[in-house]
Amino acid sequence: MSKKKQVTFADIAEYTNFSKTTISRYFNHPDSLTLENQEKISQALDTLGYKKNKLAKVLANGKSEFIGIIIPNLYLHYYSEMLTQLLSSYSDYHYKFLVFSSEHGAEEEQQYIEELLSYQIEGLIVLSHTLSSKQLSSYQIPIVAIEREAEYISSVTTDNYMGALQATTLLIRDKCDILIHINVNVEKTVPAYDRIRAFKETCEEYQVPYDIDLSVSGNSYQEILNEIRRIFTRIEEKYPNQKKGIFLSNDTYANMFLNLIFQKYRELPSFYEIIGFDNSPIASEAILPITTVGQQIDIIAQTAMELLVLQMNEMKKRKLEPIMENVKRRWTRQIVQEKGYTQTTAVWMAERIEALIDWMQHGYAVIAYRRAIDGEFQFVKATLIYYRYDFKREYEASKVQEAVMYWDVEEAMWKRFRLENFLEWKKCI
């Protein structure tokens, strides 16, 4: 079977008898066309079986529009819910996500990050604990961490101490004989360590017997479950006749522990109380709803995205500013040398030209310049928006030597004006 040929702008232009520029305007600025012409092109697309190439548009913009996410696993419900919330931000920011689950050490995670960088990601969100924040910062891209060590990068965390204090206080209030905290061996630099610290300090403050088990480990759901089962057996043997208040570090662990209790007793006996952490979906989906310390996972995800977008925008500015400063200096020298204008005038013109080009990248501007023939002023409603689509590249101000090439909106054609003829411009409302 022969491969079907991809329909191009040239094919559409030939079919409709419109120019390729007009076809480009249909896709990028349809309001610039009459309704009749929009309908003609739309019907042609259906007839020709055109499929829009979004990747080409991305490449033409010079931006990947990708954000990388490194997440430890998806079997812990906290991580899966956090990922769901991050992905849902597409409707607000229109960034696409490349996601890797990192479970097997630093070398694997470094490979994942290198892979993400090869896709020219614009930013990275990290939930894993494998690489230090110092290592992550060396990649020199915008990075936001969520609930992990973050000395050298930006981060978003919850109030782990207050959450654990509330959980512990509730178990004390319910007159448990022994309080037990179950967790992984968390490093002190990780925000979640405050759950352990708050549990210990609260128990000691109220002089309540306590037990801290930090032996949970494993790289899969089954391995973790086996560890929780071992801990459950130990607790059963060590505290047979006592009311046990169990504070687990997350809702997934709490659900595992609850299921083990039901497997043995066919109910939740009065000598067990269980509290989880996160308020992830499993807390309400468990065989009995689990008491849990609520984290606002949606707000954490939203805050992380807001922070990352701010960083990415700031980096774009930093990359642009040094280039434009050099460009303006070159324009200034050129205007002084070739036209004999004063330094002050040349600096003013260079700054206005920079502002004009910047505005034209994102919208319309009105250009005022002196016509070469009769010396009259001419005002033109112009933009550079179409440039990247027609020429398949970004408009580079650094390459402007003598004239700015622009799209005349009213005449629907490409024109240019010379730098030395530039007089004034204003934003077009």
Domain that holds residue 34: 9-52
For 146-199, the DSSP string reads ESS--TTSEEE---HHHHHHHHHHHHHHTT-SEEEEEEE---TTSTTHHHHHHH
- Of the candidates 131, 141, 72, the residue with the CA atom closest to the CA atom of residue 100: 72
The neighbour count for residue 340, using CB atoms within 10 Å, is 9
First-last CA distance in the chain: 54
C-alpha distances out from residue 139 to 15, 96, 113, 221, Å: 48, 20, 9, 31
Is residue 150 domain-resident? no
HSE-CB for 300 with a 13 A CA cutoff: 23
Q: CATH no. for residue 21?
A: 1.10.260
Q: Could you tell me the pTM of the whole model?
A: 0.65
Contact 58, 95 (CB under 8 A): no
Residues 182 and 279 occupy one common structural domain: yes
Residues 181 and 288 occupy one common structural domain: yes
C-alpha distances out from residue 214 to 79, 341, 400, Å: 20, 75, 63
- Of the candidates 381, 334, 338, the residue with the CA atom closest to the CA atom of residue 356: 381
Is residue 17 domain-resident? yes
Q: How would you write the pLDDT of the chain (429 residues) with one tens digit per residue?
A: 445 567 777 888 889 888 877 787 777 667 667 778 888 888 888 888 876 655 555 544 556 789 999 999 988 999 999 999 999 998 888 899 999 988 778 888 888 988 888 788 889 999 999 999 988 988 888 999 999 999 888 999 999 999 999 999 999 999 999 999 999 999 999 999 999 999 999 999 999 999 999 999 988 899 999 999 999 999 999 999 899 999 999 999 999 999 999 999 999 999 999 999 999 999 999 999 999 999 999 999 999 999 999 888 887 776 656 777 888 888 888 888 888 888 888 888 888 888 888 778 766 788 877 665 666 777 888 888 778 767 777 778 878 888 888 888 888 888 888 777 777 777 665
Residues 165 and 286 occupy one common structural domain: yes
Residues 280 and 199 occupy one common structural domain: yes
HSE-CB for 323 with a 13 A CA cutoff: 11
Q: CATH no. for residue 260?
A: 3.40.50.2300
Locate all alpha helices (DSSP H) within 49-131, ordered by sequence.
54-61, 77-87, 90-93, 106-118
- State the burial class of residue 3 (Cβ atoms within 10 Å of its Cβ: 0-12, 13-18, 19+): exposed
Is residue 246 domain-resident? yes
C-alpha distances out from residue 178 to 158, 257, 299, Å: 27, 16, 34
Is residue 195 domain-resident? yes
